[in-house]
């Protein structure tokens, strides 16, 4: 098991229990005692957990978004596959609003040689596309959230309302049939809503780990997007139900 996968196992354990021991993580990850302790030290430095004798306790209050640096290491292969599928639905010459989030960042990496107009909703994405030779980069105003560097607030919303886009490519924090698309941050949810309002079509990027979950801030119903791109770890029965509701669901390989 790679380090990113071990980190994800640890974070998922701490979502459902108050504390984890080194020994139970050794058994869960099949890694050595020393490796697990290094993983815990790394996650403690990221502010995800606090080290205690023989294990760790969560340092993230319920509903708090995991750090960008940690999410960037999780489900990387799935996110890259989803990004590859997403760019196949974007045509040269189109205007695109590209969300914040790690899957959106993977999508931006594949747009370097494309010819289109892109408004990024994250400084991470903006930096990735800054030197793309044929990308016309439109920067919104707004406040950059600490660490996350997503752009939120009335200036970002006003920038979106002033324009019209062919596609909004969104990466929600969580997704479920009942709760719909949700986000950890209220400002982020508002920006996502406005991006959908000003785009002709909406493409949602959601790897299987985000399914059947809900975060604090409501974005839209599950059937609102035109296309949802996921991976084969997303629940098959839920994918079928979405298709029955008229949503195109694509499984990236």
Q: Where does 3-60 sit in CATH, by number?
A: 1.10.10.10
Please, where in the chain does CATH 1.10.10.10 lie?
A: 3-60
Please enumerate in sequence order all residues whose Cβ is within 8 A of that of 91, keeping only pairs 6 or more positions apart, or say none.
116, 166
The CATH number of the domain covering residues in 71-251: 3.40.50.10470
Average pLDDT over the chain, rounded to an integer:
89
Asked if residues 93 and 115 have their Cβ atoms less than 8 Å apart, the reply is yes
CA-to-CA distance for 72 and 105, rounded, in angstroms? 9
Cβ neighbors of 94 (< 8 A, separation 6 or more) are 116, 117, 166, 167
Task: Give the whole-number percent of the chain exceeding pLDDT 90.
Answer: 64
17 vs 128, higher pLDDT? 128
Cα–Cα distance between 165 and 80 in angstroms, integer? 24
CATH 3.40.50.10470 residue ranges of the chain are 71-251
Q: What is the pLDDT of residues 93-137, one digit of tens each?
A: 999 999 998 999 999 999 999 999 999 999 999 999 999 999 999
């Amino acid at each position: 098991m790679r380090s990113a996968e071990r980190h994800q196992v640890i974070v998922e354990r701490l979502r459902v229990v108050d504390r984890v021991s080194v020994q139970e993580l050794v058994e869960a990850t099949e890694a050595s005692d020393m490796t697990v302790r290094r993983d815990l030290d790394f996650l403690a430095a990221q502010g995800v957990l606090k080290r205690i004798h023989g294990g760790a306790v969560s340092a993230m209050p319920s509903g708090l978004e995991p750090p960008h640096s940690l999410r960037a290491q999780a489900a990387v292969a799935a996110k890259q596959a989803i990004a590859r599928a997403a760019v196949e639905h974007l045509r040269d010459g189109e205007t695109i609003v590209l969300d914040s989030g790690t899957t959106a960042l993977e999508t931006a990496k594949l747009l370097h040689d494309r010819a289109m107009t892109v408004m990024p909703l994250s400084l991470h994405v903006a930096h990735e596309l800054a030197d793309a030779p044929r990308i016309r980069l439109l920067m919104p105003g707004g406040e950059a959230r600490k660490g996350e560097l997503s752009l939120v607030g009335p200036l970002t919303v006003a920038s979106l309302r002033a324009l019209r886009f062919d596609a909004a490519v969104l990466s929600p924090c969580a997704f479920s049939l009942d709760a719909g698309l949700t986000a950890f941050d209220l400002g982020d949810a508002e920006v996502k809503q406005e991006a959908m309002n000003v785009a002709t079509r909406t493409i949602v990027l959601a790897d299987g780990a985000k399914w059947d979950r809900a975060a604090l801030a409501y974005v839209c119903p599950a059937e609102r997007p035109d296309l949802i791109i996921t991976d084969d770890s997303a629940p098959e029965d839920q994918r079928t139900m979405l298709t029955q509701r008229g949503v195109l669901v694509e499984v990236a390989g």
